Structure 1
Amino acid sequence: MTVYLTTHMDGWLYLEHPMPPLFVSHRRLARRLASGRRLRPALNWWALDSGGFSELDLYGGWRTTPAEYVAAVLRYDTEIGQLGWAASQDWMCEPQMLAKTGLTIRDHQALTVSNFVELTRLWADASDDQCPFMPTLQGQTLADYLACWDMYGEAGVDLTWQAVVGLGSVCRRERAAEVGEILLALRDLDPELPIHAFGFKTTGVRKYADLIDSCDSGAWSFGGRYRPDPACVKSSCANCLHYALDWYGRVAESLACASDPIQRPLFPASAFDLAV
Protein backbone atom coordinates (compact mmCIF):
# COMPACT_ATOMS: atom_id res chain seq x y z
CA MET A 1 0.00 0.00 0.00
CA THR A 2 1.18 3.51 -0.80
CA VAL A 3 0.88 6.19 1.88
CA TYR A 4 1.12 9.73 0.54
CA LEU A 5 2.60 12.27 2.94
CA THR A 6 0.23 15.24 2.97
CA THR A 7 1.98 18.59 3.15
CA HIS A 8 1.42 22.19 2.15
CA MET A 9 5.22 22.64 1.94
CA ASP A 10 5.39 22.48 -1.85
CA GLY A 11 9.13 23.12 -1.67
CA TRP A 12 9.54 19.52 -0.53
CA LEU A 13 8.92 18.49 -4.14
CA TYR A 14 12.40 19.75 -4.96
CA LEU A 15 14.45 18.25 -2.13
CA GLU A 16 17.44 16.20 -3.23
CA HIS A 17 16.82 13.51 -0.63
CA PRO A 18 14.92 10.21 -0.52
CA MET A 19 11.30 11.22 -0.06
CA PRO A 20 7.98 9.40 0.23
CA PRO A 21 5.29 10.26 -2.33
CA LEU A 22 3.85 13.65 -1.42
CA PHE A 23 0.27 14.90 -1.47
CA VAL A 24 0.27 18.63 -2.23
CA SER A 25 -2.76 20.88 -2.47
CA HIS A 26 -3.75 22.88 -5.53
CA ARG A 27 -4.57 25.73 -3.13
CA ARG A 28 -0.90 25.89 -2.22
CA LEU A 29 0.45 25.64 -5.75
CA ALA A 30 -2.13 28.15 -7.00
CA ARG A 31 -0.46 30.74 -4.80
CA ARG A 32 2.77 30.12 -6.64
CA LEU A 33 0.97 30.62 -9.95
CA ALA A 34 -0.76 33.79 -8.73
CA SER A 35 2.50 35.31 -7.51
CA GLY A 36 4.16 34.76 -10.86
CA ARG A 37 6.79 32.44 -9.44
CA ARG A 38 7.94 29.84 -11.91
CA LEU A 39 7.19 26.16 -11.52
CA ARG A 40 10.27 23.98 -11.32
CA PRO A 41 10.64 20.30 -12.24
CA ALA A 42 9.98 18.15 -9.20
CA LEU A 43 12.56 15.71 -7.94
CA ASN A 44 10.00 13.63 -6.10
CA TRP A 45 6.86 11.71 -7.02
CA TRP A 46 3.58 13.28 -5.90
CA ALA A 47 -0.19 13.52 -6.29
CA LEU A 48 -2.41 16.60 -6.32
CA ASP A 49 -5.06 17.37 -3.73
CA SER A 50 -7.74 19.60 -5.24
CA GLY A 51 -8.22 21.40 -1.91
CA GLY A 52 -11.92 20.62 -1.90
CA PHE A 53 -12.32 20.31 1.86
CA SER A 54 -10.98 23.83 2.41
CA GLU A 55 -12.95 25.27 -0.50
CA LEU A 56 -16.28 23.96 0.75
CA ASP A 57 -15.49 24.68 4.38
CA LEU A 58 -14.43 28.28 3.73
CA TYR A 59 -16.72 29.28 0.87
CA GLY A 60 -19.56 26.77 0.73
CA GLY A 61 -18.66 25.81 -2.84
CA TRP A 62 -16.00 25.85 -5.50
CA ARG A 63 -14.61 29.22 -6.60
CA THR A 64 -12.30 27.63 -9.19
CA THR A 65 -14.05 26.63 -12.42
CA PRO A 66 -13.30 23.25 -14.03
CA ALA A 67 -11.61 25.05 -16.93
CA GLU A 68 -9.34 26.97 -14.55
CA TYR A 69 -8.49 23.81 -12.66
CA VAL A 70 -7.65 21.88 -15.82
CA ALA A 71 -5.41 24.73 -16.99
CA ALA A 72 -3.57 24.69 -13.67
CA VAL A 73 -3.18 20.91 -13.60
CA LEU A 74 -1.89 20.96 -17.18
CA ARG A 75 0.85 23.33 -16.06
CA TYR A 76 1.66 21.18 -13.02
CA ASP A 77 1.88 18.11 -15.21
CA THR A 78 4.12 19.67 -17.85
CA GLU A 79 6.22 22.10 -15.80
CA ILE A 80 6.53 20.31 -12.45
CA GLY A 81 6.18 16.74 -13.67
CA GLN A 82 6.35 13.57 -11.56
CA LEU A 83 2.56 13.88 -11.08
CA GLY A 84 0.92 10.53 -10.46
CA TRP A 85 -2.71 11.70 -10.44
CA ALA A 86 -4.90 14.65 -9.55
CA ALA A 87 -8.03 14.64 -7.40
CA SER A 88 -11.17 15.96 -9.04
CA GLN A 89 -13.17 18.86 -7.64
CA ASP A 90 -15.40 16.61 -5.57
CA TRP A 91 -18.00 17.61 -2.97
CA MET A 92 -17.51 16.09 0.49
CA CYS A 93 -20.56 14.75 2.30
CA GLU A 94 -19.72 15.27 5.97
CA PRO A 95 -22.60 16.89 7.90
CA GLN A 96 -20.64 20.11 8.38
CA MET A 97 -20.10 20.36 4.62
CA LEU A 98 -23.80 19.86 3.90
CA ALA A 99 -24.52 22.61 6.41
CA LYS A 100 -22.08 24.90 4.57
CA THR A 101 -23.58 24.33 1.12
CA GLY A 102 -27.22 23.83 2.08
CA LEU A 103 -27.37 20.88 -0.32
CA THR A 104 -28.14 17.18 0.12
CA ILE A 105 -25.83 14.17 -0.12
CA ARG A 106 -27.47 13.35 -3.44
CA ASP A 107 -26.71 16.88 -4.69
CA HIS A 108 -23.06 16.57 -3.64
CA GLN A 109 -22.75 13.21 -5.36
CA ALA A 110 -24.27 14.52 -8.58
CA LEU A 111 -21.91 17.51 -8.55
CA THR A 112 -18.95 15.23 -7.89
CA VAL A 113 -19.79 12.94 -10.81
CA SER A 114 -20.56 15.75 -13.24
CA ASN A 115 -17.31 17.50 -12.34
CA PHE A 116 -15.24 14.42 -13.11
CA VAL A 117 -16.97 14.05 -16.46
CA GLU A 118 -16.34 17.73 -17.22
CA LEU A 119 -12.68 17.58 -16.19
CA THR A 120 -11.99 14.59 -18.40
CA ARG A 121 -13.74 16.27 -21.34
CA LEU A 122 -11.77 19.49 -20.91
CA TRP A 123 -8.50 17.60 -20.53
CA ALA A 124 -9.11 15.69 -23.76
CA ASP A 125 -9.60 19.04 -25.53
CA ALA A 126 -6.41 20.50 -24.03
CA SER A 127 -3.91 17.64 -24.11
CA ASP A 128 -3.09 14.36 -25.80
CA ASP A 129 -1.47 13.06 -22.61
CA GLN A 130 -3.22 10.57 -20.35
CA CYS A 131 -5.87 12.24 -18.19
CA PRO A 132 -4.60 12.54 -14.59
CA PHE A 133 -7.95 13.08 -12.86
CA MET A 134 -9.32 10.44 -10.54
CA PRO A 135 -13.01 9.91 -9.81
CA THR A 136 -14.11 9.96 -6.18
CA LEU A 137 -16.97 8.12 -4.54
CA GLN A 138 -18.81 10.32 -2.05
CA GLY A 139 -21.41 9.61 0.62
CA GLN A 140 -21.84 8.77 4.28
CA THR A 141 -23.55 5.38 4.47
CA LEU A 142 -22.87 2.20 2.54
CA ALA A 143 -26.03 2.78 0.51
CA ASP A 144 -24.76 6.26 -0.38
CA TYR A 145 -21.50 4.99 -1.82
CA LEU A 146 -23.20 2.25 -3.80
CA ALA A 147 -25.62 4.83 -5.18
CA CYS A 148 -22.68 7.04 -6.16
CA TRP A 149 -21.11 4.07 -7.94
CA ASP A 150 -24.30 3.71 -9.97
CA MET A 151 -24.33 7.44 -10.73
CA TYR A 152 -20.91 7.15 -12.34
CA GLY A 153 -22.15 4.25 -14.43
CA GLU A 154 -25.18 6.22 -15.55
CA ALA A 155 -22.82 9.05 -16.58
CA GLY A 156 -20.83 6.64 -18.75
CA VAL A 157 -17.90 6.24 -16.36
CA ASP A 158 -16.76 2.66 -15.73
CA LEU A 159 -14.94 2.82 -12.40
CA THR A 160 -13.42 -0.62 -12.92
CA TRP A 161 -11.26 0.85 -15.70
CA GLN A 162 -9.88 3.75 -13.64
CA ALA A 163 -6.26 3.86 -12.50
CA VAL A 164 -7.29 5.24 -9.09
CA VAL A 165 -10.71 5.61 -7.45
CA GLY A 166 -10.99 7.89 -4.44
CA LEU A 167 -13.07 7.17 -1.35
CA GLY A 168 -14.16 10.50 0.08
CA SER A 169 -15.70 11.66 3.35
CA VAL A 170 -13.94 8.98 5.40
CA CYS A 171 -11.47 11.29 7.11
CA ARG A 172 -11.86 10.98 10.91
CA ARG A 173 -14.12 7.94 10.43
CA GLU A 174 -11.43 5.26 10.23
CA ARG A 175 -12.52 3.81 13.59
CA ALA A 176 -16.11 3.34 12.41
CA ALA A 177 -17.10 -0.22 11.47
CA GLU A 178 -19.12 1.09 8.52
CA VAL A 179 -15.94 2.22 6.76
CA GLY A 180 -14.80 -1.40 6.69
CA GLU A 181 -18.19 -2.47 5.37
CA ILE A 182 -17.96 0.13 2.60
CA LEU A 183 -14.50 -1.02 1.57
CA LEU A 184 -15.58 -4.67 1.53
CA ALA A 185 -18.63 -3.81 -0.57
CA LEU A 186 -16.46 -1.98 -3.10
CA ARG A 187 -14.12 -4.96 -3.24
CA ASP A 188 -17.15 -7.15 -3.95
CA LEU A 189 -17.99 -4.92 -6.91
CA ASP A 190 -14.42 -5.17 -8.18
CA PRO A 191 -11.74 -7.12 -6.25
CA GLU A 192 -9.03 -5.21 -8.15
CA LEU A 193 -10.49 -1.73 -7.59
CA PRO A 194 -7.53 0.62 -6.87
CA ILE A 195 -8.99 2.47 -3.87
CA HIS A 196 -7.44 5.64 -2.47
CA ALA A 197 -8.79 6.60 0.97
CA PHE A 198 -8.67 10.33 1.59
CA GLY A 199 -7.34 11.58 4.92
CA PHE A 200 -6.79 8.32 6.75
CA LYS A 201 -5.00 8.69 10.07
CA THR A 202 -2.57 6.10 11.39
CA THR A 203 -5.35 3.91 12.79
CA GLY A 204 -7.08 3.69 9.42
CA VAL A 205 -3.81 3.13 7.57
CA ARG A 206 -3.04 0.07 9.67
CA LYS A 207 -6.59 -1.21 10.06
CA TYR A 208 -7.47 -1.26 6.36
CA ALA A 209 -4.08 -1.82 4.75
CA ASP A 210 -5.36 -4.97 3.03
CA LEU A 211 -8.45 -3.25 1.60
CA ILE A 212 -7.01 -0.08 0.07
CA ASP A 213 -4.22 0.58 -2.41
CA SER A 214 -3.26 4.02 -1.18
CA CYS A 215 -4.18 6.82 1.18
CA ASP A 216 -2.94 10.23 2.20
CA SER A 217 -2.34 11.47 5.71
CA GLY A 218 -1.45 14.76 7.34
CA ALA A 219 -1.77 13.33 10.85
CA TRP A 220 1.91 14.01 11.46
CA SER A 221 1.35 17.78 11.15
CA PHE A 222 -1.42 17.78 13.77
CA GLY A 223 0.80 15.78 16.09
CA GLY A 224 3.74 18.07 15.44
CA ARG A 225 1.68 21.10 16.33
CA TYR A 226 0.57 19.83 19.72
CA ARG A 227 3.29 17.27 20.52
CA PRO A 228 6.52 18.70 19.06
CA ASP A 229 9.78 16.83 19.31
CA PRO A 230 11.35 17.79 22.68
CA ALA A 231 14.76 17.82 21.02
CA CYS A 232 13.61 20.36 18.41
CA VAL A 233 14.38 24.05 18.93
CA LYS A 234 11.07 25.00 17.33
CA SER A 235 7.92 25.51 19.40
CA SER A 236 5.93 23.62 16.77
CA CYS A 237 6.85 20.77 14.41
CA ALA A 238 3.72 21.15 12.26
CA ASN A 239 5.88 21.97 9.23
CA CYS A 240 9.02 20.15 10.31
CA LEU A 241 10.61 17.88 7.70
CA HIS A 242 12.40 15.73 10.26
CA TYR A 243 9.17 15.22 12.21
CA ALA A 244 7.22 14.33 9.07
CA LEU A 245 9.75 11.82 7.79
CA ASP A 246 10.26 10.23 11.19
CA TRP A 247 6.47 9.72 11.41
CA TYR A 248 6.35 8.34 7.89
CA GLY A 249 9.22 5.97 8.50
CA ARG A 250 7.52 4.51 11.57
CA VAL A 251 4.21 4.05 9.72
CA ALA A 252 5.91 2.43 6.71
CA GLU A 253 7.90 0.08 8.92
CA SER A 254 4.86 -0.96 10.95
CA LEU A 255 2.92 -1.70 7.75
CA ALA A 256 5.75 -3.76 6.29
CA CYS A 257 6.20 -5.75 9.47
CA ALA A 258 2.47 -6.37 9.78
CA SER A 259 2.15 -7.74 6.24
CA ASP A 260 5.45 -9.63 6.06
CA PRO A 261 8.03 -9.81 8.87
CA ILE A 262 10.77 -10.32 6.28
CA GLN A 263 9.74 -7.48 3.96
CA ARG A 264 11.72 -4.28 4.25
CA PRO A 265 9.70 -1.05 4.40
CA LEU A 266 9.65 0.93 1.17
CA PHE A 267 10.97 4.02 2.94
CA PRO A 268 13.00 2.85 5.98
CA ALA A 269 13.46 5.44 8.72
CA SER A 270 17.23 5.40 8.19
CA ALA A 271 16.73 6.98 4.77
CA PHE A 272 15.29 10.05 6.46
CA ASP A 273 18.34 10.91 8.57
CA LEU A 274 18.70 14.24 6.83
CA ALA A 275 21.25 16.89 7.67
CA VAL A 276 18.91 19.81 7.03
Structure 2
Amino acid sequence: MNTPIPQFLLGVPEPSWLERVTFPAFISYGRLARRPLPRQLAVRCPVSVDSRGFTMLKNHGKWIVTPGEYVGWLRRHRERINLQWAAPQDWMCEPAIIHGGQWGRERFVGTGLSVAEHQSRTVANYLHLRDLAPELPFIPVLQGWHLEEYLTCVELYADAGIDLTALPLVGLGSVCRRQSTAEIGDIVTTLAALGLRLHGFGVKNLGLLRYGQYLASADSMAWSYAARREPPLTGCTTHKNCANCLTYATRWRTRLLTQLHRQAQPGPDIPTAGLDHWKEAA
Protein backbone atom coordinates (compact mmCIF):
# COMPACT_ATOMS: atom_id res chain seq x y z
CA MET A 1 0.00 0.00 0.00
CA ASN A 2 1.39 3.38 -1.01
CA THR A 3 1.98 6.06 1.58
CA PRO A 4 -0.10 9.26 1.32
CA ILE A 5 1.25 12.39 -0.32
CA PRO A 6 0.56 15.85 1.11
CA GLN A 7 -1.97 18.19 -0.38
CA PHE A 8 0.07 20.57 -2.50
CA LEU A 9 -0.70 24.31 -2.65
CA LEU A 10 0.90 26.08 -5.58
CA GLY A 11 2.28 29.49 -4.70
CA VAL A 12 0.77 32.08 -7.05
CA PRO A 13 2.04 35.63 -7.65
CA GLU A 14 -1.14 37.53 -8.47
CA PRO A 15 -4.81 37.53 -7.39
CA SER A 16 -5.87 37.20 -11.04
CA TRP A 17 -4.47 33.67 -11.08
CA LEU A 18 -7.15 32.65 -8.57
CA GLU A 19 -9.71 33.00 -11.35
CA ARG A 20 -7.72 30.78 -13.69
CA VAL A 21 -6.79 27.71 -11.66
CA THR A 22 -8.92 25.08 -9.98
CA PHE A 23 -6.25 23.41 -7.83
CA PRO A 24 -5.35 24.62 -4.28
CA ALA A 25 -3.44 27.90 -4.30
CA PHE A 26 -1.26 29.76 -1.80
CA ILE A 27 -0.81 33.53 -1.98
CA SER A 28 0.67 36.16 0.29
CA TYR A 29 -1.35 38.83 2.03
CA GLY A 30 1.04 41.37 0.56
CA ARG A 31 0.09 40.37 -2.97
CA LEU A 32 -3.61 40.43 -2.16
CA ALA A 33 -3.74 43.71 -0.26
CA ARG A 34 -1.34 45.91 -2.21
CA ARG A 35 -4.17 47.13 -4.44
CA PRO A 36 -7.99 46.74 -4.46
CA LEU A 37 -9.20 43.35 -5.65
CA PRO A 38 -11.07 43.29 -8.98
CA ARG A 39 -14.76 43.90 -8.37
CA GLN A 40 -15.80 40.86 -10.36
CA LEU A 41 -13.14 38.53 -8.98
CA ALA A 42 -14.45 34.98 -9.48
CA VAL A 43 -12.14 32.63 -7.57
CA ARG A 44 -12.25 29.04 -8.82
CA CYS A 45 -9.86 27.38 -6.37
CA PRO A 46 -9.44 26.88 -2.62
CA VAL A 47 -7.08 29.60 -1.34
CA SER A 48 -4.79 29.74 1.67
CA VAL A 49 -3.10 32.98 2.68
CA ASP A 50 0.43 33.56 3.90
CA SER A 51 0.84 36.55 6.22
CA ARG A 52 4.11 37.61 4.51
CA GLY A 53 5.97 37.36 7.77
CA PHE A 54 9.39 36.54 6.35
CA THR A 55 9.46 39.62 4.11
CA MET A 56 8.00 41.79 6.88
CA LEU A 57 10.68 40.87 9.42
CA LYS A 58 13.46 40.79 6.83
CA ASN A 59 12.77 44.35 5.73
CA HIS A 60 11.52 45.96 8.93
CA GLY A 61 12.61 43.78 11.86
CA LYS A 62 9.05 44.02 13.18
CA TRP A 63 5.43 43.82 12.07
CA ILE A 64 4.13 47.06 10.56
CA VAL A 65 0.73 45.54 9.69
CA THR A 66 -1.38 45.43 12.86
CA PRO A 67 -3.46 42.38 13.81
CA GLY A 68 -6.56 44.55 13.40
CA GLU A 69 -5.61 45.50 9.83
CA TYR A 70 -4.85 41.89 8.92
CA VAL A 71 -8.09 40.61 10.43
CA GLY A 72 -10.10 43.41 8.87
CA TRP A 73 -8.89 42.66 5.36
CA LEU A 74 -9.44 38.91 5.68
CA ARG A 75 -12.88 39.43 7.17
CA ARG A 76 -13.94 41.72 4.31
CA HIS A 77 -12.63 39.47 1.57
CA ARG A 78 -12.92 35.98 3.01
CA GLU A 79 -15.77 34.88 0.75
CA ARG A 80 -14.42 36.60 -2.34
CA ILE A 81 -11.09 34.75 -2.19
CA ASN A 82 -12.58 31.42 -1.07
CA LEU A 83 -10.36 31.40 2.03
CA GLN A 84 -9.52 27.97 3.41
CA TRP A 85 -7.06 29.09 6.10
CA ALA A 86 -4.64 31.91 6.90
CA ALA A 87 -1.27 31.98 8.61
CA PRO A 88 -0.86 34.12 11.73
CA GLN A 89 1.59 37.01 11.95
CA ASP A 90 4.30 34.73 13.23
CA TRP A 91 7.96 35.44 13.95
CA MET A 92 10.46 33.34 11.96
CA CYS A 93 13.54 32.05 13.74
CA GLU A 94 16.14 31.94 10.97
CA PRO A 95 19.48 33.35 12.17
CA ALA A 96 19.33 35.98 9.40
CA ILE A 97 15.96 37.24 10.63
CA ILE A 98 17.17 37.49 14.21
CA HIS A 99 20.74 38.73 13.77
CA GLY A 100 20.41 40.71 10.55
CA GLY A 101 23.20 41.54 8.13
CA GLN A 102 24.07 40.42 4.63
CA TRP A 103 23.14 36.81 3.86
CA GLY A 104 23.95 35.91 0.29
CA ARG A 105 22.42 38.58 -1.90
CA GLU A 106 19.84 39.64 0.66
CA ARG A 107 20.03 42.24 3.39
CA PHE A 108 18.22 41.63 6.69
CA VAL A 109 17.41 44.31 9.23
CA GLY A 110 17.46 41.87 12.16
CA THR A 111 15.08 41.84 15.10
CA GLY A 112 17.78 41.55 17.76
CA LEU A 113 15.49 39.27 19.78
CA SER A 114 15.92 35.70 20.96
CA VAL A 115 14.37 32.55 19.52
CA ALA A 116 12.36 32.26 22.75
CA GLU A 117 10.97 35.77 22.29
CA HIS A 118 10.04 35.03 18.66
CA GLN A 119 8.23 31.89 19.79
CA SER A 120 6.40 33.73 22.55
CA ARG A 121 5.27 36.44 20.14
CA THR A 122 4.17 33.83 17.60
CA VAL A 123 1.92 32.06 20.10
CA ALA A 124 0.61 35.37 21.47
CA ASN A 125 -0.31 36.58 17.99
CA TYR A 126 -2.24 33.40 17.19
CA LEU A 127 -4.22 33.77 20.41
CA HIS A 128 -4.83 37.45 19.68
CA LEU A 129 -6.03 36.83 16.12
CA ARG A 130 -8.30 34.05 17.33
CA ASP A 131 -9.81 36.40 19.92
CA LEU A 132 -10.24 39.21 17.39
CA ALA A 133 -11.87 36.99 14.77
CA PRO A 134 -12.91 33.55 16.02
CA GLU A 135 -14.80 33.02 12.77
CA LEU A 136 -11.64 33.22 10.64
CA PRO A 137 -9.64 30.03 9.98
CA PHE A 138 -6.23 30.97 11.38
CA ILE A 139 -3.82 28.09 11.91
CA PRO A 140 -1.17 28.04 14.65
CA VAL A 141 2.46 27.94 13.54
CA LEU A 142 5.38 26.30 15.28
CA GLN A 143 8.58 28.32 15.23
CA GLY A 144 12.11 27.38 16.17
CA TRP A 145 15.41 26.45 14.61
CA HIS A 146 16.52 23.25 16.31
CA LEU A 147 14.25 20.30 17.13
CA GLU A 148 14.27 21.04 20.86
CA GLU A 149 13.04 24.57 20.16
CA TYR A 150 10.09 23.32 18.13
CA LEU A 151 9.18 20.98 20.97
CA THR A 152 9.37 23.93 23.35
CA CYS A 153 6.97 25.81 21.08
CA VAL A 154 4.54 22.90 21.30
CA GLU A 155 4.70 23.30 25.08
CA LEU A 156 4.00 27.05 24.80
CA TYR A 157 0.77 26.33 22.95
CA ALA A 158 -0.17 23.67 25.51
CA ASP A 159 0.49 26.11 28.35
CA ALA A 160 -1.86 28.55 26.59
CA GLY A 161 -4.58 25.90 26.48
CA ILE A 162 -4.15 24.99 22.80
CA ASP A 163 -4.18 21.26 22.02
CA LEU A 164 -2.40 21.19 18.68
CA THR A 165 -3.31 17.55 18.11
CA ALA A 166 -7.00 18.51 18.06
CA LEU A 167 -6.56 21.05 15.24
CA PRO A 168 -6.89 20.24 11.54
CA LEU A 169 -3.58 21.88 10.60
CA VAL A 170 -0.45 23.23 12.29
CA GLY A 171 2.09 25.26 10.32
CA LEU A 172 5.79 24.45 10.47
CA GLY A 173 7.81 27.65 10.18
CA SER A 174 11.44 28.55 9.47
CA VAL A 175 12.12 25.68 7.09
CA CYS A 176 11.75 27.10 3.57
CA ARG A 177 15.26 28.56 3.26
CA ARG A 178 17.08 25.86 5.18
CA GLN A 179 19.49 23.68 3.23
CA SER A 180 19.60 20.63 5.53
CA THR A 181 16.82 18.34 4.35
CA ALA A 182 17.88 15.70 6.89
CA GLU A 183 17.51 18.12 9.81
CA ILE A 184 14.07 19.23 8.64
CA GLY A 185 13.12 15.58 8.16
CA ASP A 186 13.95 14.86 11.81
CA ILE A 187 11.83 17.82 12.89
CA VAL A 188 8.89 16.82 10.69
CA THR A 189 8.84 13.15 11.69
CA THR A 190 9.21 13.95 15.39
CA LEU A 191 6.36 16.46 15.36
CA ALA A 192 4.21 14.13 13.27
CA ALA A 193 4.79 11.43 15.88
CA LEU A 194 3.12 13.71 18.41
CA GLY A 195 -0.05 13.57 16.31
CA LEU A 196 0.25 16.95 14.58
CA ARG A 197 -1.12 17.46 11.08
CA LEU A 198 1.61 19.66 9.65
CA HIS A 199 1.71 22.19 6.84
CA GLY A 200 5.21 22.76 5.49
CA PHE A 201 5.76 26.35 4.40
CA GLY A 202 7.91 26.50 1.27
CA VAL A 203 9.28 22.98 1.61
CA LYS A 204 11.85 22.18 -1.06
CA ASN A 205 11.12 19.50 -3.68
CA LEU A 206 13.76 17.17 -2.28
CA GLY A 207 12.20 17.53 1.15
CA LEU A 208 8.74 16.68 -0.15
CA LEU A 209 10.10 13.56 -1.81
CA ARG A 210 11.94 12.55 1.35
CA TYR A 211 9.43 13.19 4.14
CA GLY A 212 6.26 14.40 2.43
CA GLN A 213 4.29 11.43 3.78
CA TYR A 214 4.53 13.00 7.23
CA LEU A 215 3.02 16.31 6.08
CA ALA A 216 -0.68 16.98 5.68
CA SER A 217 0.03 19.76 3.17
CA ALA A 218 2.79 21.93 1.77
CA ASP A 219 3.20 24.95 -0.48
CA SER A 220 5.91 26.14 -2.81
CA MET A 221 6.78 29.04 -5.09
CA ALA A 222 9.94 27.26 -6.28
CA TRP A 223 8.61 27.06 -9.84
CA SER A 224 9.10 30.81 -10.23
CA TYR A 225 12.74 30.69 -9.10
CA ALA A 226 13.41 27.79 -11.47
CA ALA A 227 11.79 29.63 -14.38
CA ARG A 228 14.07 32.66 -13.96
CA ARG A 229 17.07 30.49 -14.86
CA GLU A 230 15.50 28.96 -17.95
CA PRO A 231 14.49 30.28 -21.37
CA PRO A 232 10.75 30.77 -21.85
CA LEU A 233 8.64 27.82 -22.91
CA THR A 234 7.96 27.29 -26.58
CA GLY A 235 5.01 29.50 -27.41
CA CYS A 236 5.68 31.95 -24.57
CA THR A 237 6.61 34.91 -26.73
CA THR A 238 5.45 37.79 -24.54
CA HIS A 239 7.98 37.44 -21.70
CA LYS A 240 11.73 36.92 -21.41
CA ASN A 241 11.28 34.11 -18.87
CA CYS A 242 8.39 32.24 -17.29
CA ALA A 243 8.81 33.46 -13.70
CA ASN A 244 5.20 34.71 -13.75
CA CYS A 245 3.80 32.24 -16.27
CA LEU A 246 0.78 30.11 -15.44
CA THR A 247 1.62 27.58 -18.16
CA TYR A 248 5.07 27.01 -16.66
CA ALA A 249 3.71 26.87 -13.11
CA THR A 250 1.02 24.34 -14.04
CA ARG A 251 3.49 22.07 -15.83
CA TRP A 252 5.93 22.34 -12.90
CA ARG A 253 3.14 21.39 -10.50
CA THR A 254 2.18 18.39 -12.63
CA ARG A 255 5.78 17.14 -12.72
CA LEU A 256 6.12 17.52 -8.95
CA LEU A 257 2.89 15.64 -8.23
CA THR A 258 3.95 12.89 -10.63
CA GLN A 259 7.25 12.56 -8.75
CA LEU A 260 5.46 12.45 -5.40
CA HIS A 261 3.13 9.70 -6.57
CA ARG A 262 6.04 7.68 -7.94
CA GLN A 263 7.99 8.11 -4.71
CA ALA A 264 5.00 7.14 -2.54
CA GLN A 265 6.31 3.83 -1.24
CA PRO A 266 5.49 2.20 2.09
CA GLY A 267 7.45 4.30 4.58
CA PRO A 268 9.25 3.34 7.79
CA ASP A 269 7.65 3.82 11.16
CA ILE A 270 7.85 7.39 12.39
CA PRO A 271 10.87 7.52 14.70
CA THR A 272 9.98 8.05 18.35
CA ALA A 273 13.41 7.97 19.96
CA GLY A 274 13.65 10.68 22.56
CA LEU A 275 9.94 11.45 22.65
CA ASP A 276 9.32 9.59 25.91
CA HIS A 277 12.03 11.63 27.61
CA TRP A 278 10.57 14.87 26.26
CA LYS A 279 7.05 13.94 27.37
CA GLU A 280 8.29 13.16 30.86
CA ALA A 281 10.08 16.48 31.05
CA ALA A 282 7.12 18.46 29.70
Q: TM-score per shorter chain, which class?
A: 0.7 to 0.9
Q: Give deviations 1:125-161, integer Å, cap 9, x for gaps.
A: xxxx4x3100000000000000000001111111111
Q: Give the equivalent residue in structure 2 for 1:73.
A: 74
> Residue 198 of structure 1 aligns with which residue?
201
Q: Does residue 97 in structure 1 map to residue 84 in structure 2?
A: no
Aligned residue in 2 for 1:268: none
Match of 1:115, as an amino acid?
A: N
Whole-angstrom CA distance in 1 between matches of 2:77 and 2:166:
24
Question: 1:226 Cα shift?
Answer: 1.4
Identity of aligned residues (%): 42
What is the Cα-based RMSD across aligned positions, in Å? Answer: 1.8
Instruction: Give the structure 2 partner of residue 266 of structure 1.
Output: none
Equivalent-residue separation in structure 2 for 1:13 and 1:199 (angstroms): 19
Structure 2 residue matching 1:79: 3-state secondary structure: coil
The amino acid across from 2:145 in the alignment is Q
Alignment of 1:115-264 (within 5 A): 115-124=125-134, 129=135, 131-173=136-178, 175-190=180-195, 193-231=196-234, 232-233=236-237, 234-259=239-264
CA contact (8 A) 1:221 1:238 kept: yes
For structure 2, list consecutive stretches of 5 or more residues without a partner in the other structure.
Answer: 1-5, 100-109, 266-282
Instruction: State the distance in 1 between where 2:27 and 2:120 align.
Output: 26
Aligned partner letter, 1:142:
L
Q: 1 CA distance for matches of 2:192 and 2:52?
A: 27
Deviation at 1:240, TM superposition (A): 0.6
Deviation at 1:37, TM superposition (A): 4.9
Relative to structure 1, the CA distance from residue 219 to residue 236 in structure 2 (aligned partners, 3 Å threshold; closer, same or farther) is same
Q: Deviations over 1:211-248 (max 9, x none)?
A: 11111101100011112335232211110111100100
Q: Which moved more, 1:214-223 or 1:37-46?
A: 37-46
249-258 or 72-81: bigger deviation: 72-81
Question: What is the 5 A alignment of 1:55-66?
Answer: 55-66=56-67
Q: Indicate conservation of the 8 Å contact 2:233/2:248, yes or no.
A: no
Question: Structure 1 segments of 4 or more deviating over 3 A?
Answer: 36-39
For normalisation by structure 2, the TM-score amounts to: 0.84
TM-score if structure 1 supplies the norm length? 0.85
Match status 1:10 vs 2:20: no
- Partner residue of 1:111? 121
Question: Cα deviations across residues 24-49 of structure 1 (Å, max 9, x unaligned)?
Answer: 1100111123xx75372411111101
Closer, same or farther in 2 for the Cα pair 1:6/1:117, shift >3 Å? Answer: same
Per-residue CA deviation, residues 237-269 of structure 1 (Å, 9 max, x unaligned), is 110111100100000111122227xxxxxxxxx
Number of aligned positions between the proteins = 249
